[in-house]
C-alpha cells in the first residue's frame, strides 16, 4: 500500500512539468505616446475629463433614451448572444481537456456464454462455457510525465480566455454601433425636418411668385425657377423619409427587437451628447482592449501548442489498473475467492515518425502567425485612436465655422429676398442663396453628427464599454 501511494505521489508531482517555452510578452510595435501636431492639439492640451478605462458606458452615455436602447440591445442582440454561446462552448472544451490530466474510474461489467464444438474442445467433447466479470479501475490513463496534456490544457484555457475577450469586444462593439446608429437616426430625422421646412418655405415663395406672375409683375422664367426649387425640395423630403426609415430599421436590428417610438430621437439637437473623454498620456492603454487581449491569449495558446509538440518526441506512458471479481457462473460472481486484479503499464516510444517533426514545425509557424496578428491588432488600434484624436482636435473648429457659415448664408438669403421683392435683383440671386443655405444647414447637421459619433468611436477605440 505504501509503495502504491508513493508511486501515485511521484506521478502527480512529475505530471506538473511542461516543455512549453517561457512566455515573453512582446513589445508593442507602436510609439509609447500619441501623435503630436496641430490636429492633436486638443488632446495635448489636457482635460479634466475622465480616462476611458475609468468610465463605464452608462456614465459615458448621458442620454437616458439611448441608455435604454443599449440595454435592449445587450439583452436581445443575436450577435452578442452567439458570442456568449461561443464562450460557453470554449469553457466546456477547456473542462474536457483539463479532465485528461486526471484518471477516470470506470466500472466495466461483462458476460460471455459460448459453445465449443467437439473437434475444437480439449476434451474431445462439445461443451458450453460461461464467464462473468465486474471490474473497477482506471483504463488507459496517460501519465503526463512530459507535460503534453498539461500543454494542451493550457492551450484550451487560453483559447477560452480569448473567446471571453472576444465576447467582451462584441459587447463593446455593439454598444458603439447602437450609439452610432442612434445618433445617425437623429441626424436623419433632423435632415427630414429641415427638408420639410425648406419645402414649406419654397412653396410659400412659389405661391408669391405665382401671384406676381398672374398680375404680370414677373416673368415666366422666375416662375419656372421657383417651381424647380419646390420640386427639388419634394424629392429631398422623399429621400429623407427613406433614409430615416432605413436608419430606424438598422437600429431595430441592433436592438434585437422593435424600439418603442418614445425611445427614438426626435432630432440631433434633442440627444444629450456623450461625455468628453481623454486618451491619457501613454498608448499602453491599448493593451487593455478586448481584441488585443484576445490576440495575446491566442499567442499564449500557440506557445502552449509548442510545448505539446515538443512532448510528442518523448515516450507516452499509460496505465491500466483494476480490481474486480470474475466467475464461470453468474451466481458465483461475488462469491469467496472470485477476486481479480490487473496492473498493466504501457509505454509508446516514438522512433521514426516524420509527422512529429512536421507538427512541431507547424506549431512554431503558428506562433509566428499569431504573433504577427497580435502586433497588427495593436497597430490597428493605435491608428483608430490616432484618427479619433485628429477628429477630436479639429471638429470643434469645423462646427464653429459651419455654424458661422449657416448664419452668413441665412443673412445672404434674407437680403437677396428683400432685393428681389424691391426689384433691385433678379430671382436668380434668391435661388442661389436659398440653395446655399440648404446645403450649409445640411452640412452643419453632418459635422455635428461627426462630432458626437467621434466621441463614441474614440471611446470604443480606447477599450471602453464595460
Q: What is the longest distance spanned by two Cα atoms in the chain?
A: 135
120: in domain: no
Q: What is the pLDDT of residue 61?
A: 93
Query: Measured between alpha carbons, how far is 70 from 63 in angstroms, rounded to an integer?
Result: 11
Q: Assess whether 160 and 304 both reside in one domain.
A: yes
39: in domain: yes
Phi, psi of 140 (to 5 degrees): 55, 50
Q: Assess whether 243 and 302 both reside in one domain.
A: yes
At residue 136, the 3 state secondary structure works out as strand
Number of folded domains that form the chain: 2
The mean pLDDT values, 10 residues at a time, for the chain of 466 residues are 49 60 87 84 63 80 95 92 89 85 82 79 76 80 82 91 92 93 96 94 86 83 87 94 95 93 93 87 84 93 90 84 80 76 82 86 93 94 91 91 95 88 79 90 96 93 80
Q: Assess whether 291 and 222 both reside in one domain.
A: yes
357: in domain: no
355: in domain: no
Q: What is the pLDDT of residue 50?
A: 63
Q: Assess whether 92 and 181 both reside in one domain.
A: yes
Pull the grid cell for residue 422. Answer: 424691391
Q: What is the pLDDT of residue 53?
A: 66
Q: How many helices and strands in the chain, by DSSP H and E?
A: 10, 4
**Residue 328 belongs to domain spanning:** 103-115+126-143+315-349
Q: Assess whether 70 and 139 both reside in one domain.
A: no
CATH number at residue 59: 1.20.1600.10
Q: Assess whether 302 and 342 both reside in one domain.
A: no
CB 299 within 8 A of CB 370: yes
SS3 content of the chain, % helix, strand, coil (to 5): 65, 10, 20
pTM: 0.85
238: in domain: yes
Q: What is the pLDDT of residue 5?
A: 47
Q: Assess whether 166 and 213 both reside in one domain.
A: yes
356: in domain: no
Q: Assess whether 170 and 210 both reside in one domain.
A: yes
Match 486638443 to its residue by C-alpha cell: 42
Q: Assess whether 6 and 61 both reside in one domain.
A: yes
Amino acid at each position: 500500500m505504501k509503495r502504491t501511494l508513493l508511486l501515485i505521489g511521484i506521478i502527480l508531482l512529475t505530471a506538473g512539468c511542461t516543455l512549453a517555452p517561457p512566455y515573453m510578452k512582446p513589445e508593442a510595435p507602436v510609439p509609447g505616446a500619441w501623435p503630436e501636431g496641430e490636429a492633436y492639439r486638443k488632446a495635448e492640451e489636457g482635460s479634466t475629463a475622465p480616462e476611458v478605462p475609468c468610465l463605464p458606458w452608462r456614465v459615458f452615455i448621458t442620454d437616458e433614451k439611448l441608455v435604454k436602447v443599449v440595454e435592449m440591445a445587450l439583452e436581445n442582440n443575436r450577435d452578442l448572444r452567439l458570442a456568449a454561446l461561443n464562450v460557453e462552448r470554449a469553457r466546456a472544451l477547456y473542462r474536457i481537456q483539463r479532465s485528461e490530466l486526471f484518471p477516470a474510474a470506470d466500472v466495466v461489467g461483462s458476460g460471455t456464454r459460448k459453445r465449443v464444438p467437439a473437434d475444437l474442445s480439449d476434451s474431445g467433447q462439445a461443451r458450453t462455457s460461461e464467464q462473468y466479470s465486474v471490474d473497477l479501475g482506471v483504463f488507459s490513463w496517460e501519465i503526463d510525465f512530459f507535460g503534453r496534456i498539461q500543454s494542451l490544457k493550457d492551450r484550451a484555457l487560453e483559447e477560452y480566455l480569448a473567446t471571453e475577450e472576444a465576447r467582451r469586444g462584441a459587447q463593446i462593439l455593439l454598444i458603439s454601433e447602437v450609439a452610432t446608429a442612434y445618433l445617425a437616426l437623429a441626424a436623419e430625422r433632423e435632415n427630414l425636418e429641415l427638408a420639410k421646412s425648406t419645402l414649406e418655405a419654397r412653396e410659400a415663395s412659389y405661391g408669391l411668385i405665382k401671384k406676381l406672375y398672374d398680375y404680370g409683375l414677373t416673368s415666366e422664367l422666375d416662375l419656372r425657377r421657383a417651381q424647380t426649387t419646390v420640386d427639388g425640395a419634394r424629392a429631398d423630403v422623399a429621400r429623407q423619409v427613406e433614409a430615416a426609415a432605413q436608419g430606424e430599421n438598422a437600429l431595430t436590428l441592433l436592438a434585437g427587437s422593435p424600439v418603442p417610438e418614445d425611445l427614438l430621437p426626435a432630432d440631433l439637437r434633442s440627444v444629450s451628447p456623450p461625455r468628453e473623454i481623454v486618451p491619457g498620456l501613454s498608448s499602453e492603454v491599448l493593451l487593455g482592449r478586448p481584441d488585443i487581449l484576445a490576440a495575446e491569449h491566442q499567442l499564449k495558446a500557440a506557445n502552449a501548442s509548442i510545448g505539446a509538440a515538443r512532448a510528442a518526441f518523448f515516450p507516452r506512458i499509460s496505465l491500466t489498473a483494476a480490481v474486480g471479481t470474475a466467475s464461470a457462473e453468474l451466481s458465483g460472481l461475488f462469491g469467496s475467492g472470485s477476486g481479480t486484479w490487473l496492473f498493466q503499464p504501457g509505454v509508446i516510444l516514438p522512433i521514426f515518425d516524420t509527422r512529429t517533426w512536421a507538427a512541431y514545425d507547424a506549431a512554431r509557424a503558428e506562433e509566428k502567425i499569431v504573433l504577427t496578428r497580435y502586433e497588427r491588432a495593436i497597430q490597428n488600434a493605435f491608428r483608430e485612436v490616432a484618427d479619433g484624436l485628429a477628429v477630436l482636435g479639429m471638429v470643434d473648429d469645423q462646427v464653429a465655422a459651419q455654424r458661422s457659415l449657416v448664419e452668413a448664408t441665412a443673412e445672404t438669403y434674407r437680403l437677396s429676398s428683400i432685393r428681389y421683392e424691391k426689384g433691385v435683383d433678379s430671382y436668380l440671386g434668391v435661388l442661389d442663396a436659398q440653395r446655399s443655405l440648404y446645403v450649409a444647414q445640411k452640412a452643419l447637421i453632418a459635422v455635428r453628427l461627426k462630432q458626437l459619433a467621434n466621441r463614441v468611436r474614440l471611446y470604443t477605440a480606447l477599450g471602453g464599454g464595460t
